[in-house]
């Protein structure tokens, strides 16, 4: 796997938040390097069959979309999301047959759009659409996305180790 990106240890609050989020985002692709489509879709957890590498990447893509496009920018869902009113709550994770490369490219493109949206707002600005919940600031959303992405990187760590023994940032046998 590639080397881990470094985050500057000094800088503005915004630079730090965006740096940490971008680092977490980059690690998603790193965790998927060299993985076959078959393994990316392999269901290893019988109690959580949607928890696959492919399902996690798809989930992260749609979480980016949800928080930045729908919440911050209030872009209405006109059928582009996988969610429907009576549909499965984890519909974004139903990606059987979608190549991992496409899922990663879609995720990267969504992250670019999210960066552009966040850049138009101040950290204290609040989301335009909060779906009946108290509105969150852009700062809160950036912190939440760091947490969300990092948490799912932990899932990717475990699944990847179960699939082929790859752990951390190193290949097996490479100290």
pLDDT tens digits, residue range 34-65?
999 999 999 998 888 889 999 999 999 999 99
Percent of the chain with pLDDT over 70: 93
Q: Which tokens go with 52?
A: 């696959």
How far the first Cα of the chain sits from its last, in Å, is 12
Select from 32, 113, 127, 128 the least CA-distant residue to 80.
Answer: 113
* Model pLDDT for residues 59-109, shown as the tens digit of each residue: 999 999 999 999 999 888 777 787 778 887 887 888 999 999 999 999 999
Q: What is the pLDDT of residue 76?
A: 82
What domains are there in the chain, each with its CATH number? 13-76+90-164 (1.20.120.450)
Phi, psi of 99 (to 5 degrees): -60, 145
What's the pTM value of the predicted model, to 2 decimals? 0.90
What is the overall mean pLDDT for the chain? 89
Q: Which tokens go with 148?
A: 């969300």
Query: Residue 169: which pLDDT band, with cuts at 50, 70 and 90?
Result: low
Q: What is the pLDDT of residue 83?
A: 76
Select from 64, 69, 63, 58 the least CA-distant residue to 92.
Answer: 58
Query: Residue 4: which pLDDT band, with cuts at 50, 70 and 90?
Result: low
Q: What is the pLDDT of residue 147?
A: 98
Q: What is the pLDDT of residue 5?
A: 57
Report helix angle 53-64 to 100-119, nearest 10. Answer: 20
Residue 74 CB contacts under 8 Å (≥ 6 apart), including other chains: 127, 128, 129
Q: 99-102: long-range contacts at Cβ-Cβ below 8 A with a sequence spacing of 24 or more?
A: 99/37, 100/32, 100/35, 100/36, 100/37, 100/40, 100/41, 100/53, 100/54, 100/57, 101/37
Has residue 167 got a pLDDT over 90?
no
The size of the chain, in residues, is 175
């Amino acid at each position: 796997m590639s080397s881990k990106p470094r985050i500057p240890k000094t800088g503005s609050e915004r630079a730090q938040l965006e740096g940490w989020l971008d680092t977490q985002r980059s690690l998603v692709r790193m965790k998927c390097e060299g993985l076959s489509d078959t393994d990316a879709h392999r269901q290893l957890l019988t109690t959580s069959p949607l928890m696959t590498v492919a399902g996690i990447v798809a989930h992260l893509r749609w979480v980016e979309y949800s928080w930045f496009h729908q919440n911050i920018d209030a872009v209405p869902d006109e059928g582009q999301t996988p969610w429907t009113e009576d549909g499965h709550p984890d519909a974004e994770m139903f990606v059987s047959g979608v190549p991992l490369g496409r899922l990663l490219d879609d995720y990267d493109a969504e992250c670019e759009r999210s960066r552009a949206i966040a850049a138009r707002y101040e950290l204290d600005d609040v989301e335009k659409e909060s779906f009946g919940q108290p509105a969150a600031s852009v700062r809160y959303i950036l912190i939440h996305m760091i947490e969300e992405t990092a948490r799912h990187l932990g899932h990717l760590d475990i699944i990847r180790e179960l699939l082929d023994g790859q752990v951390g940032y190193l290949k097996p046998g490479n100290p």
